[in-house]
Structure 1
Amino acid sequence: MIKLDNVSMAFRGRPVLDNISLDIAEGEIMVIIGPSGSGKSTILRLMIGLLKPLAGKIWIDGQEISGASEEELNIIRRNMGMVFQYSALFDSMTVGENVAFGLRQHTALSEEEIARTVRRRLRMVGLNGQESVMPSELSGGMKKRVSLARAIAINPQIVLYDEPTAGLDPIMSTTIDRLICSTRRVLNVTSVVVTHHMSSAFNIADRIAMIYDGRIIEIGTVSEIKKSSNPIVQQFIHGWAKPGEFAKRRSRRSES
C-alpha cells in the first residue's frame, strides 16, 4: 500500500532522512519510533505529499507521488486521513463541522448524508451526540478522538497518525490505542503511527521501524524489536541513559 524507495530529505542543507526504504502492506499497522528530531513526522508529511523528497520515490497504492502535481496529490489524498499531533481542529467550527469538513470539500454528499456520516464516525470514537460542542470545550483526549473521526469520515484507505497519544494520560492513551486498532478492524485501513511512547507502540503495532540519525536501523515485529541485539534500539525502548546498559545486562544474564 505504501512504499518508500531510497528517500532522502533535508531542511536548509541539514540532512533529515538518508536513503530511507520502507514497505507497508495493505491493512498493516506500521509504527515508526525514534528520538525527537529523527525525521519521524517528516516521513508522514512525505507520504501525504505535503513535502517532496530531495531524492528517491514514494508510492501510494501503486501510484508514484514524488513528482505528482498538486491536483494529482489532492485526488490521492481523498483516500488518506491524518491525525495531527495537536489535533489541528478548526476552533471556529463545532465538532460536527470539523468532522464534516472533508466530506464537504471532497464529496458530493447531501447535507443529510453528511450529517449521518458525522454521527456514525463520532459514535465510532465514543463521542456520540457531541456534534454541537466547540473544540474549546473538549479535553485533549476528546480533541484527538474528534481528529480521528474527521480523518476517517471520508472512508480512507490509509490513516496517518502523528504522535496520537502525546500529552495524554495513560488511561486516555490506552483508549486512543484501542481506537487505532478498532479503526483498522472496522474499516480495514492501512495505518502508519509515529510515536515515542513504547507502550503504545507495543500495544498496536504489527511491525515497528526505528529511525535513528536519518536512517532506519531496525524493522520487525514487536517480539523481534524487543529481542533486538542493536544496543541503540534497546536503549531507546527501555529509556536507558547510557547505550552500554544493554551490553551490561546481557552480560549479567549470560553469567547467571
Structure 2
Amino acid sequence: MIKLVNVNMNFRGKQVLKDINLTIEQGEIMVIIGPSGSGKSTLLRLIIGLLKPTSGEIWVNGREITTMTEDELNKIRLEMGMVFQYSALFDSMSVGENVAFGLRQHTDMPEEEIARTVRRKLRMVGLRGQETAMPNELSGGMKKRVSLARAIAIDPHIVLYDEPTAGLDPIMSNTINRLIVSTRRMIDATSVVVTHDMSSVFSIADRIAMIYGGSIIETGTPEKIRQSENPIMVKFIRGGSAESKGRSRV
C-alpha cells in the first residue's frame, strides 16, 4: 500500500531523513518509533504529500506521488485520513460539523447521508449522541476520538496517526489503542502510527520501524524488536534514548 524508495529529506542544509526504504503492506499497522527530532513526523508528511522529498520515490497504492501536481495529490489524499497529535479540531464548529467537514468539502453527499455518516462514525469511536457538543466541552481523550471519527469519515484506505496517545492517561491511551486496531478491522485500513508510547507500540503493531539519526536502523515484528540486540533499540525500549533529550521535534 505504501512504499518509500531511497527517500532523502533535507531542511535548510540539514539532512533529516537518509536513504529511507520502507514497505507497508495493505491492512497492516506499521508503528514508527524513534527519538524526538529523528524524522518520524516528517515521514508522515511525506506520505500524505505535504512535503516533497529531496530525492527518492514514494508510492501510495501503486502510484508514485513525488512528481504529482497539487490537484493530483488532493485526489490521493481523499484516500487518506490523518489523526493529528493535538487533534486539530475547529473550535468554532460542533463535533458533528468537525466530523462532516471533509464530507462537505470533498464529496457531493446529500446532507441527510452526511448526518447518518457522522452518527455512525461517532458511534464507532464511542461518542454516540455528541454531535452538538463543542470542542471546548470535551476532554483530551474525547477530542482524539473526534479527530479519529473525522479521519475515517470518508472510509480511507490509509490512516496516519501522529502521537495518538500523547497527553492521555493510561486508561484513555488503551481506549485509543483499541480504536486504532478496531478501525483497521472495520474499514480495512492500512495504518501508520508515529508514537513514543512503547506500551502502545507493542499492543497495536503488526510491524515496527525505528528511525535513529534520520535512518531506519531496524524493522520487524514486535517479537523481533523485543529480542533485538541493537544497543540503541534496547535502550529506547527500556526507557528512551538519552540522545533524544533536549532535541527539537522535526
With the length of structure 1 as denominator, give the TM-score of the two structures: 0.94
Tell me which residue corresponds to 2:123: 123
Q: Does 1:189 align with 2:189?
A: yes
List per-residue Cα deviations over 1:138-183 (Å, max 9, x = no partner). 1100000000000000010000000000000000000000000000
SS at match of 1:183: helix
**Contact 2:35 2:240 survives alignment (8 Å):** no
Counterparts of 1:242 and 1:115, CA distance in 2: 48
Cα shift at 1:135: 0.4
Counterparts of 1:241 and 1:159, CA distance in 2: 28
Counterparts of 2:240 and 2:109, CA distance in 1: 52
Counterparts of 2:154 and 2:207, CA distance in 1: 26
Give the aligned residue type for 2:86. Answer: Y
SS at match of 2:130: coil
Q: Does 1:40 align with 2:66?
A: no
SS at match of 1:147: helix
What is the aligned length?
Answer: 243
Cα shift at 1:241: 6.4
Say which structure, 1 or 2, has more relative contact order (CA 8 Å, 6+ apart).
2
Tell me which residue corresponds to 2:12: 12
SS at match of 1:21: strand
User: For structure 2, which runs of at least 5 residues remain unmatched after alignment?
Assistant: 244-250
Regions of 4+ moved over 2 Å: 240-243
Counterparts of 2:178 and 2:71, CA distance in 1: 35
Larger radius of gyration: 1
Give the aligned residue type for 2:73. Answer: L
Over 3 Å counting, the alpha-carbon distance change for 1:5 and 1:73 in structure 2 is same
Give the aligned residue type for 2:44. Answer: L
SS at match of 1:4: strand
User: For structure 1, which runs of at least 5 residues remain unmatched after alignment?
Assistant: 244-256
Over 3 Å counting, the alpha-carbon distance change for 1:107 and 1:122 in structure 2 is same
**RMSD between superposed Cα atoms in Å:** 1.0
Counterparts of 1:104 and 1:240, CA distance in 2: 42
Give the aligned residue type for 1:118. Answer: V
List per-residue Cα deviations over 1:17-51 (Å, max 9, x = no partner). 00101000000000000000100000000000000
Cα shift at 1:242: 6.9
Tell me which residue corresponds to 2:158: 158
Q: How does 1:173-188 map to 2 (within 5 A)?
A: 173-188=173-188
SS at match of 1:123: helix
Cα shift at 1:11: 1.2
Over 3 Å counting, the alpha-carbon distance change for 1:54 and 1:130 in structure 2 is same
Tell me which residue corresponds to 1:209: 209
Q: Does 1:53 align with 2:25?
A: no
SS at match of 1:148: helix
Over 3 Å counting, the alpha-carbon distance change for 1:129 and 1:62 in structure 2 is same
List per-residue Cα deviations over 1:236-255 (Å, max 9, x = no partner). 01016679xxxxxxxxxxxx
Tell me which residue corresponds to 1:78: 78
SS at match of 2:105: helix
Tell me which residue corresponds to 1:253: none
Tell me which residue corresponds to 2:103: 103
Q: How does 1:242-253 map to 2 (within 5 A)?
A: none
SS at match of 1:41: helix
With the length of structure 2 as denominator, give the TM-score of the two structures: 0.96
Over 3 Å counting, the alpha-carbon distance change for 1:241 and 1:116 in structure 2 is closer
Give the aligned residue type for 1:179. Answer: L
Counterparts of 1:230 and 1:122, CA distance in 2: 42
List per-residue Cα deviations over 1:213-239 (Å, max 9, x = no partner). 000000000000000010000000101
Counterparts of 2:240 and 2:108, CA distance in 1: 52
Tell me which residue corresponds to 2:2: 2
Give the aligned residue type for 2:76. Answer: I
Over 3 Å counting, the alpha-carbon distance change for 1:226 and 1:57 in structure 2 is same
Over 3 Å counting, the alpha-carbon distance change for 1:93 and 1:9 in structure 2 is same
Instruction: Determine what percentage of the aligned residue pairs are the same residue.
Output: 73
